[in-house]
Structure 1
Amino acid sequence: MNLVLSKIFETSVLVSPKKATQLCTMIAKKVKNGDEVVIDFHGIKATTLAFLYVLFSNVIKECGKDVKKVISVINASNELKEEFKYFKQNYKDLCDKFSDLDAVLA
């Protein structure tokens, strides 16, 4: 299942931890149903580290420690890639649980 965040939240900016929690709930439901999930950042111009941290840490709590096989990220803007770089450097243990953050940064 492809979750296009700009369409789901009808915005190009994701800064609210509340929205991150809502997204986590959507992702967890799909993963628990056996679906693979693609988090599509197409159209998202800005996020915050708080949004990313709440999203990814809650996904791990809800879905289990190894979500590499079922969750991926696509269409990150250059600005989002910079945030992912910071996130990966400073939250390495959390980022190692996601399959394609290195591919997103390429």
Structure 2
Amino acid sequence: MNVDTSPVERAQRRFFGALDALEAAVRRHKENERSKEALEAELRTLGEDRSRLAQELDRSQARAVKLEAVVGDVSGRLDTAIGTIRGLLEQGAGRSRSGNTEPAG
């Protein structure tokens, strides 16, 4: 009886082949778990980044609203100041034409 072809030898080869396949499957499973954990960590990081960015956006939008109000207020004040200066210049020009250089009062 040839040792290489004995039923025990064939069974042993099949057993070791199955054991190798099992070890390879366990390695792949561990690699997949590590990949899964890495992806979960990345997903958590992305979620935290999204939350932080949303808060920054909210603060920026609130600041923009305040700045728009300030711009409107400053614009109104500038319009008033320009109107006052024009009025004074027109009064001064009118007095110069009439020969009256005395301030009105």
Same fold (TM over 0.5): no
Identify the TM-score tier after normalising by the shorter chain.
under 0.3
TM-score, normalised with respect to structure 2 = 0.19
Point out the structure with the larger strand share.
1
TM-score, normalised with respect to structure 1 = 0.18
Pick 1 or 2: higher relative contact order, CA cutoff 8 A, min separation 6: 1
Determine which structure has more spread, i.e. the larger CA radius of gyration: 2
Point out the structure with the larger helix share.
2
